[in-house]
Structures are given as C-alpha cells and as structure tokens.
Structure 1
Amino acid sequence: MPATERAIELALTAAQAAADKKAEDIVVLDVADRMAITDAFVVTSAPNERQVMAIVDAIEERLAQLPEKAKPVRREGERGGRWVLLDYVDIVVHVQHTEEREFYSLDRLWKDCPVIEFVDRDLPAPA
C-alpha cells in the first residue's frame, strides 16, 4: 500500500521547508510497502552543522503551521548537528551533514522504494 495522502502532504511540506533553507539533494521516498512504522522518508543534506539545524527548525516550524498541526514525536541527533532525525510517525525526516549523507547513503539503502516527486516551487520552470 503506498504512502497516505497525509504522509505525502507532510513530506512535501517538509521538503519545501528544507528547500527554502537551501537544503541540498532533497529526496522524498515512499517506504510504506517496506516499513510498518512510517510511510515516507524525507532525506536532505547541508554542508555544515549550522545549516543542518536551520533546516530542522524550518521543517518543524512549517509543519506546526499546517491546519492539522504536526509535531515530531521524536527528535534525535540535534546535539551534534550532523544527522538530525525528526519522527512524525507518518513521515521520518533525515537532515544530514553532507559527509554523513555520503557515508551512510540512505538513498542507496532505500533505492527500491518509489520516489515521491518534489519540485521546489522557487525554482524556475523548465523551458
């Protein structure tokens, strides 16, 4: 069963919040068929710890502003700012330092999962 509409809405909202803070390489994965505990992963990265934390804060703020407010049930890794995980039950957001992203390669681990298309609304439309 694919990700729910709610999970897709949360994931795309989180992805846009990350993009607004200049996150790099944003990927949204539908993991619903592979995991019983969540429907989607949002994976993104930043080149330094300060930007990782800014992205995390922006995602939390944006999801809390939704009509059906979303708050993470768990937030891990914030102390080091190298890999922060936000668990919203329907989605799990991974904001990683670029080095951690390359080393752990979550994209490769979950490559068999369908990608949920995300297009940054601030990027110009392709010609």
Structure 2
Amino acid sequence: MVHETLEGILTADESLPVTATDRSIELVTAAAQAAADRLAHDIIAYDVSDVLSITDAFVLASAPNDRQVRSIVDEIEERLNKQLGAKPVRREGDREARWILLDYVDIVVHVQHSEERVFYALERLWKDCPELPLPEDALRTRGKGEEHAQLTGKDAEGELS
C-alpha cells in the first residue's frame, strides 16, 4: 500500500520517502504485475534514485528454470510496451537465460534463475534503499522460491537436499 504525505510518497512500511518519479513507479507496478502473472518468485522493487544517477528503480524477480525466466521477461517487455509505450533500450542475458536484464532507463528489471538470485543476492546490495510498494499479486510471490525448492527437493542453490 502506498501512503502519500506532504513530502511525497512513502514506502509500504512508511519508513523512507520514495524519490523515484511517477513514471518509474508506474513502470515498476506494471513490470511487477506482469512478472507475477507469469508466476515469478520473490518479486521486489527498490527505489535506487538517491544512490544511482542512471536509473530510479530496480525490479527483481526469479524463476526456477531458464524457460520460465524467458517467459517472464517476454511478458514484462510486452506489457510495458502495450500498456505504457515503453521499450527497453537494452536487453542482456538472453543467450543463457540465467539472468536477463531489461533496461528502461527509468527502471531496470532483473529476472534471474533462482540459483543466480541466491548467489548474487542483489537484495543485500540494495537493502538500505526504500522498497517500493507493489501490486498484491506481486507481494504474494514472496517466499515462492523457497517453497518451490522444498517441493522439488532442492535447496536454494538448486542442489538436491
């Protein structure tokens, strides 16, 4: 849930002011919903506008296999283009589909294979940045990576447990 104050928008937990632009927040919301619709795991978004000059926000999502990573990325790209007229200026990582990055200038979307998500732990790097509010469908994806690992008998790194 987004809260507005005289100073602007606050994060979901009302702890830090969000300085990302309205356009960036609109893109984040659409990207997060598209990822959730394609069953992404652990969707989260950070307002990095105060610490980076190159973008306002990062969206992180993951999936347990390369095919699903591609599907999520394709859905995000299609949805942002159709709904908001936004096209990425750069798309990287298609070859292996272990970590695909979509750069929209205002936001950067990272869709990672679950193993890469654990290994690189981007959340650790950006934990001091405000977390952006997301649609309910996206919030419900939290913990799905761990849940999937338990169902398949694999640990977070994809190794058999």
Shorter-chain TM range is over 0.9
- Per the normalisation by structure 2, the TM-score is 0.73
Correspondent of 2:50 among 11, 16, 33: 33
Deviations 1:9-39 (A, max 9, x none): 0011000000000000000100000100000
Q: How far is 1:121 from its partner?
A: 4.2
Q: How far is 1:123 from its partner?
A: 8.1
Correspondent of 1:85 among 97, 101, 124: 101
Rate the CA distance shift 1:89–1:123 in 2: closer, same or farther, 3 A. Answer: closer
| Count of residues paired in the alignment | 123
Q: For 1:56, give the aligned amino acid.
A: V
Maintained 8 Å contact 2:35/2:138: no
* Percentage identity across paired residues of the two chains: 63
CA distance in 2: counterparts of 1:34 and 1:55, whole angstroms:
27
Counterpart secondary structure, 1:65 = helix
The question of 1:2 aligning with 2:19 is answered: yes
CA distance in 1: counterparts of 2:62 and 2:136, whole angstroms:
15
Q: How far is 1:79 from its partner?
A: 0.7
Maintained 8 Å contact 1:49/1:97: yes
Aligned CA RMSD, in angstroms, stands at 1.6
The question of 1:49 aligning with 2:59 is answered: no
For the pair shown, the structure with the greater C-alpha radius of gyration is 2
- Per the normalisation by structure 1, the TM-score is 0.92
